[in-house]
Structure 1
Amino acid sequence: MATSSRLLVASRTFADSRVHDSSATSPRGSVGRVRVVGSLATAEKNVLAGRPSWSCGGGSGFLGGGVKALRIPVGGKVEFAAAKGRRAGGCCEASLDALIFDCDGVILESEDLHRRAYNLTFEHFNVKCGSKLVDWDTEFYDVLQNTIGGGKPKMRWYFARNGWPTSSLFETAPESEADQSTLIDSLQDWKTEKYKDLIRSGAEPRPGVLELMDEARSMGIKLAVCSAATKSSVVFCLTNLLGKERFEQLDCFLAGDDVKNKKPDPSIYKVAAEKLGANPGRCLVVEDSVIGLQAALGAGMTCVISYTSSTSKQDFAGASASYPNLGGVSLTELIKVVDSAPAVL
């Protein structure tokens, strides 16, 4: 539907750094005739009024790269001209198709909650390797969770190296693949419920996450969450931390159950790109660990790190940026990261 509006397109690629104004009545997203109306500095001060601008890099469109574009409906509020990665006003193409979050460690600093839930599970089922009750301390779990992705693979890896355990589920250590899988599945199911109990006790999202999601949504950029954890666990976590409305508005949600191979295998991010209809090279992943970083890069995506206390000392070579958390990080800043990132091969 056509709307009466004025589209400001501020481009630093012009020698005079002027702001160009299309004041013709036109459909949402079209430019129309353009004329100079003022300086870029004035426009940013008076028109943007401190609000984040939509930006895209590269040289696409007749205005070239470095473009900022805002639509100002007559008598209405400022709204972004871009919609879900399509061309904004015909002048340029969005440099970011999708923003993709890991869950554990990124949305929620959850690793210690997982560790506690595992230990409660081992205690409940009297899981013993030899004569010793299995108990994962903080130092060991920091190494484990940064080595093996997914809950079931963690236990399988541990038992393969320390001997399959006895338990109230199996009086003798399971020897067949079927019995070992039954043990792992039963422990994981109970652990998931204990983890949910810990979430209910008052867990909160990490700084900046909700703000970035809302900013991306307002700019028409697709949103996804890709977690190696069990689906029921992640759904519960996201519903509680993001709220039902934000969770249901995700354009894609994948959990460890949805792919055969867990991170660092890139499968989950490759599947996400397909479901989103997004170019992997125009997707930005937020991860907290080397495992997640490897998965994102393996899928051909740009990755930034929001590290936690347990991952802060990892070598994040290949990440385009690294933050202690996302508090104060704007989407404009992240788009610039994507614009400046080298192609991921």
Structure 2
Amino acid sequence: MSRLSALIFDVDGTLAETEELHRISFNATFAEIGLDWEWDRALYRELLAVTGGKERIRYYIDEFDGSVDIPPAGIKQIHERKTAIYTERMAEGALGPRPGILRLIHEARNAGVKCAIATTTSRPNIDALLQSAFAPEAVGWFDAIAAGDEVPRKKPAPDVYTLALERLGLPAAECLAIEDSRNGLDSARAAGLGCVITISPYTDGQDFSQALKTVAHLGDLETRNPAIEGGMVTLAMLQSWHSRAR
């Protein structure tokens, strides 16, 4: 039986409910540069099936607006401006951690269980979120960070989880992924990890049958999860779910 040595967290929708701010930032960018695109929530939910912001723009052009032809360099510039707007708004306090995240990270670190990040988002977005929504020193809480701009393929490919495992120096059997989407679940499983799902508003209704456990959120003293006895997903519970899967 493998012990649980590390928790590997997704970012968007898992550490924080970021997707709505991403959507707003995309729309602000489109308006600023004169594109008449407006991504409403229903459309953005569909677009989230495509991982990566630049890839999402490319998909939208190919599937929804054949009237424009933006080269890769142009898409990169659009995405960079969107990232800047997102970062600015986040720094203004637009986001906070999802319920139970802070508690669980501190519980894991105090118990000697490492914490890591594996995400399709870019490293600047990760750093900005951790510093503004968690704590100025929060980047240092994570023993490894693997970002989408560091790997050739994004989720559901396993690349970003494989990179996180390499940086942790641990086998997949000793790690547990925490995700919010089917793409993330598939990515974690392809890398050999068990996965716990915390459903987000943009991913409810997806097929999570291959997850070790699916919960609304991790819960904390103020925001209890009604699906979990006691209202909180603890490190001990994660260790139990992890051991039963091995």
> For the residues of structure 2 that align with 1:182 and 1:136, how far apart are their CA atoms?
22
> For the residues of structure 2 that align with 1:286 and 1:159, how far apart are their CA atoms?
32
Q: Does 1:337 align with 2:229?
A: no
- Aligned in 2, Cα 1:212/1:165: closer, same or farther, shift over 3 Å? farther
Q: Does 1:259 align with 2:151?
A: yes
Query: Is 1:106–1:288's contact at 8 Å kept on the other side of the alignment?
Result: yes
Structure 2 residue identity aligned to 1:106: T
- Aligned in 2, Cα 1:241/1:314: closer, same or farther, shift over 3 Å? same
Query: Is 2:96–2:134's contact at 8 Å kept on the other side of the alignment?
Result: no
**Higher share of residues assigned helix:** 2
- Displacement of 1:97 in angstroms is 1.6
CA deviation string 1:216-239 (max 9, x = no partner): 111111110111112111111112
1:303 maps to 195
Find 2:103's aligned residue among 181, 199, 211. Answer: 211
- Displacement of 1:109 in angstroms is 0.5
- Aligned in 2, Cα 1:219/1:117: closer, same or farther, shift over 3 Å? same
- Displacement of 1:255 in angstroms is 1.1
- Which structure 2 residues correspond to residues 200-279 of structure 1 after superposition, within 5 A? 200-202=91-93, 203-279=95-171
- Displacement of 1:164 in angstroms is 5.2
Q: Name the SS for the 1:235 alignment partner.
A: helix
Structure 2 residue identity aligned to 1:235: D
TM-score (norm 1): 0.65
2:51 maps to 149
- Aligned in 2, Cα 1:107/1:165: closer, same or farther, shift over 3 Å? farther
- Displacement of 1:165 in angstroms is 5.5
- Which structure 2 residues correspond to residues 17-32 of structure 1 after superposition, within 5 A? none
- Aligned in 2, Cα 1:117/1:165: closer, same or farther, shift over 3 Å? farther
2:206 maps to 314
Q: Does 1:159 align with 2:51?
A: no
- Displacement of 1:198 in angstroms is 2.2
Greater C-alpha Rg: 1
Query: Is 1:266–1:298's contact at 8 Å kept on the other side of the alignment?
Result: yes
- Displacement of 1:103 in angstroms is 0.5
Number of paired residues?
233
> For the residues of structure 2 that align with 1:317 and 1:213, how far apart are their CA atoms?
25
Overall identity of the aligned pairs, in %: 35
2:73 maps to 182
1:140 maps to 43
Query: Is 1:287–1:306's contact at 8 Å kept on the other side of the alignment?
Result: yes
**Higher share of residues assigned strand:** 1
> For the residues of structure 2 that align with 1:308 and 1:249, how far apart are their CA atoms?
23
2:23 maps to 115
> For the residues of structure 1 that align with 2:235 and 2:6, how far apart are their CA atoms?
11
2:174 maps to 282
> For the residues of structure 1 that align with 2:238 and 2:3, how far apart are their CA atoms?
11
> For the residues of structure 1 that align with 2:211 and 2:62, how far apart are their CA atoms?
32
Structure 1 residue identity aligned to 2:97: P
> For the residues of structure 1 that align with 2:208 and 2:235, how far apart are their CA atoms?
21
CA deviation string 1:66-115 (max 9, x = no partner): xxxxxxxxxxxxxxxxxxxxxxxxxxxx7102101001000110111100
- Displacement of 1:163 in angstroms is 4.0
Unaligned runs of 5+ in 2: 220-231
Unaligned runs of 5+ in 1: 1-57, 59-93, 128-132, 167-172, 175-179
Query: Is 1:151–1:230's contact at 8 Å kept on the other side of the alignment?
Result: no
Query: Is 1:96–1:335's contact at 8 Å kept on the other side of the alignment?
Result: yes
- Which structure 2 residues correspond to residues 22-101 of structure 1 after superposition, within 5 A? 58=1, 95-101=3-9
> For the residues of structure 2 that align with 1:291 and 1:123, how far apart are their CA atoms?
29
